[in-house]
Amino acid sequence: MLIRLQNLWPKIFQTSTLPMLQARRSLSDALFVHRDMDVDAESFEFTDVNKKRAEAILKNYPIEYRCAAAIPLLDLAQRQYGWLPLKAMNYVADYIGMPRMRVYEVATFYTMFNRTPVGKYHVQVCTTTPCMLRGSEEILEACKEFCKGDPNFTVNEVECAGACVNAPVLSVNDDYYEDLTREDVKHIIGELKAGRKPKPGPTERSGRFSCEPSGGLTSLTAKPYGPGFKVRSDL
C-alpha cells in the first residue's frame, strides 16, 4: 500500500487543481532579520532623563522578573532615537541583564518596533477587512500621494489598528485619525506639513465624538432605570 502511494505521489501534484504553495506577503512590512548598519558602530545610552524613566519602569517589576520590562524599555529607546537600531536593543538587553537574542525576539515579534529608520511622522494605514470594506485602499493611496517625496513622512500599510468601528483609520505616531475620506487625509497631511497637529479621533465630518453608532442609537434608547429597579421591597 505504501509503495503504491509513493508511486502515485508525483501524479497527485501533476493533476491537482490546487495551486502550489508560494511565499505569502507578511502581515507586516517589518524587517524580520537584523542587518548591521553604520549607526550600530556607534554607542547608545539612555539620556539622563530617560534613565530616570527607565528606573521608574523597572520599579513596576520584581527584581527576578526584570526581563518583563523589555517592551516598555524598547519603546523608550525607540522614542529617544527615533527608531530601534541593533545597538539600542543590545543596550536594553544589557540594562536588564537579559540575553540579547531574547530582546531581538521581542523586537521582531511586535511590529510597533521600527528596526529601520522612519520619518518624523510615521503614517500607518490599516487595511484589514473592516477598513478595506470602508475604503482603506483609497486612504492608503492618498497617503502615498500627499506624502510622496517628503522625508519627514513614512507611510506603511499595517494590519488591524483595533479601531474597526471607526473604519477606515490611520495612525500618525501615537494618534489615531478615524472615519476618513481622501479629503480628510489631505487635510491631516497638510496640517502636519504646516507644523500644526490636527485633532485626533473621528473627523468632524463624521459627527461622532468616539465610537458611538454613526447612525445614532438603535438599542438601549429608554431612560436608564435607577437603583433598586425590580429589587424586592423586603430587602
Q: Is 143 annotated as a binding residue?
A: no
In 3D space, the residue among 219, 187, 230 whose CA is nearest the CA of residue 205 turns out to be 187
Q: Is 67 annotated as a binding residue?
A: no
**Cell matching residue 168:** 477606515
SS3 (DSSP) at 26: coil
Q: Is 211 annotated as a binding residue?
A: no
Residue type, 146: F
Residue carrying the nine cell digits 489598528: 161
Q: Using omega within 30 degrees of 0 as the cis cutoff, is the peptide bond preceding 72 cis?
A: no
Contact 43, 87 (CB under 8 A): yes
**Cell matching residue 14:** 501533476
Q: Is 147 annotated as a binding residue?
A: no
Q: b vs e for 189-213, b when ≥16 Cβ sit within 10 Å of the residue's Cβ? A: beebeeeeebeebbbeeeebeeeee
Residue ranges at the known binding site: 126, 131, 160, 164
Residue ranges at the known binding site for [2Fe-2S] cluster: 126, 131, 160, 164
